[in-house]
Structure 1
């Protein structure tokens, strides 16, 4: 009976301990969609053409399939150890293709927590990887005594 109690206690303890992990799993932020900032939206003005809007905002993430007069720019940032931030800008065009209405959802003025990569990263296709390396000066410096102007 005492042996059975020890076995049950040990198996319950192992089950409880195996469910608790002190070592965390690496997570990263996942940005999706069109990056939308307040600076971009502030450049939009009613009456702009679709080409002008595309120049400022880029191509929309969503175009209504049955109504090409509405464009949706959606940005979603799933923070690794936090909540989800979502921004949405809906642009409506009149029948002539001019911007008529701008609707915003989310806090566009808040800066996004993007960190710049310090490493070089993968090379772009068709580019020599050696071109991505920082250039070093290959010329030898001229000593100050030799930099005087020649005498005539």
Structure 2
């Protein structure tokens, strides 16, 4: 009977300890969409052609499925331990020329996408052998 009580107690304690332990979960910033900054948007002017807009802003993330004269540039940054930042620029064309520029979000602030140091997986090229990958594979001592 005592062995049964010890076994049940040990099992319950083990289940509680393993289920309640918190080691931590690594989270990282998740950036999606078109990178939008103030320099790019300030170069836009009404009357520009679609090719000129594509040269300044890049290809749009979204084109209107029923209206090819609407281009949406969307940037979404889910910061790991902070808020979500969203920027959106909607461009409307008439007769192949830029007619309207609609901005949403804080486009004036630049987004810092540099990797942060700390716990988690190492960033490629930041480890002890960072130059080794650039040199190519090594097959043994050179003759």
TM-score (normalised: structure 1): 0.66
Give the 5 Å matches for 1:54-133.
Answer: 54-94=54-94, 96-115=95-114, 119=125, 129-130=134-135
TM-superposed CA distance for 1:80, in Å, is 1.6
Relative contact order (C-alpha < 8 Å, sep 6+): which is higher? 2
**Distance in 2 of aligned mates of 1:107 and 1:30:** 18
1:68 alignment partner, SS class: coil
CA gap of 1:5–1:105, structure 2 versus 1, over 3 A, is farther
CA gap of 1:16–1:71, structure 2 versus 1, over 3 A, is same
TM-score (normalised: structure 2): 0.70
Runs of 5+ consecutive residues of structure 1 not aligned to the other structure: 122-128, 132-152
Aligned residue pairs total: 123
**Distance in 2 of aligned mates of 1:52 and 1:26:** 41
Runs of 5+ consecutive residues of structure 2 not aligned to the other structure: 116-122, 128-133, 137-143
Bigger radius of gyration among the two = 1
Q: CA RMSD in A?
A: 2.8
